Amino acid sequence: MGKIKLGLLLLLMTLVGTPMTGYGMQLSESELYARSACLMDADSGRVLYSKNSEQKLPMASTTKIMTCILALEDGRMDDLVTVSAYAASQPKVHMGAKTGEQFYLQDLLYALMLNSDNDAAVMIAEQVGGSVEGFAEKMNLKARELGCDDTYFITPNGLDAENKNGIHSTTAKDLARILRYCIMESPKKAEFLAITQMPAYTFWNYSKTQIYQCTNHNAFLGMMDGALTGKTGFTGNAGYCYVGALQWEGKTLIVSLLACGWPNNRGYKWEDTRKLMTYGLANYEYRDVFEQKDLGRIAVLNGRQQGTTIDEVATTSLEYGSDVEQMHLSLLLRKDEQITVHYQLPPQLEAPVRKGQQIGVAQYFLGKELLQEYPIYAGEQVDVRDYYWCLEQIGAAYCA
């Protein structure tokens, strides 16, 4: 199937009877082949669509996105990597490299991400982590840092594995989070995209005795306008898996699929990916939801300031700490999604109060989910009333 123009795809889905409402295109869980699926807004990390997206499942070679980004961040691309006997023993898909052969680390990343070579993954792991076990520790540490608490790595290539701590597994939500890090947050995001977008790559071993060719197997890159990156996977336990991203008209969407069919259903993952990407593009638009308003003033008990008399209550203005007219909060939302703003402020303050002292927060919620919060500060200093100030005020009132 050739690349589909996104505008045409949306039109086609309408013509063939894709359910629509006043709020846009609908997508039921039964329409997806995957047992677990997630559509994520890459900018915010918010889940836009979920089908069992927190269910732990094996993820096969989609594992390799973590292997790649760690190698880019922690490895040196010009390092020479020597093939160990263990690396050479890895099953297909593999380079077929021989024990003792040497390669540059950078070349192995193309074998990893384009061909999905299992021996390349082990070579990378042993070079960057000292051992497969050491590299797995790095993978799990990075997963924890990203908030992927339902992910557990054992292998760098995603082959089915189990140990005393569990099985090699993730969730669709965690897998989308990991790809979000690779393309949006990592200091090596540009290098990650360059590798995963390369159509083909050829390299020699270090001794120039053998040439290796890689072809990008991420067919999604040619399926939809804006296709950005992705990684396929398959094992007997995991089934077909996929994680990929698309960037179109200012939106960046990530789709992750686990257990999306078994042989002979290789194409299910592409159908599900197109459906979820189209759903996201058809239903979600950016809206600026920042509430431009004067935050007013708040009373400061036992406070004094210029112009305040003894029988008056001092006050301070409330502000965000920057020009409110320059503040924006652009969120990818469905038409029927409404943001509510909660201002968490005390009923009054007690002197002294410093200018710039945080007083409270403005919280932006979608339903019960907190999306963003802004600190609110005191705009003026209010000193505490003391004995001498009170005497001064009484004297002034008496003289008047």
Q: What is the DSSP string of 252-283?
A: EEEEEEES---TT-TTHHHHHHHHHHHHHHHH
Catalytic residue, from 36, 53, 61, 256: name it: 61
Q: 25 to each of 9, 273, 275, 278, how far by Cα in Å?
A: 12, 15, 10, 9
**Residue 128: enclosing H or E segment and its boundaries?**
helix 118-129
Q: Are 126 and 161 in contact (CB under 8 A)?
A: no
In this structure, the chain runs to a length of 400
Residue with tokens 């008047």: 400
**Nearest residue to 354 via CA among 325, 321, 332, 328:** 321
Q: Is 30 a catalytic residue?
A: no
Sign of CA dihedral 217, 223, 225, 231: negative
Q: Is 277 exposed, middle or buried (0-12, 13-18, 19+ CB in 10 A)?
A: buried
Query: Which residue shows structure tokens 């924006």?
Result: 328
Contacts of 308 (CB under 8 A, 6+ apart): 314
Catalytic residue among 51, 64, 142, 275: 64
Angle, alpha carbons 31-36-37 (nearest 5°): 70
Nearest to 161 by CA among 71, 68, 77, 91: 91
Q: Is 231 annotated as a binding residue?
A: yes
Say which amino acid occupies 93.
Answer: V
Residue pair 323/284 in contact (Cβ under 8 Å)? The answer is no
Tokens encoding 53: 């997206």
Nearest in space to 68 (alpha carbons), one of 37, 114, 130, 137 = 114
Residue 330 falls in the annotated catalytic set: no
3-state secondary structure of 148: coil
Catalytic residue list contains 131 = no
Q: Report CA torsion sign: 297, 300, 301, 303.
A: negative
Catalytic residue among 116, 142, 169, 173: 116
Q: Which residues line the annotated binding site?
A: 231
Catalytic residues: 61, 64, 116
Q: Which residues line the annotated binding site for substrate?
A: 231
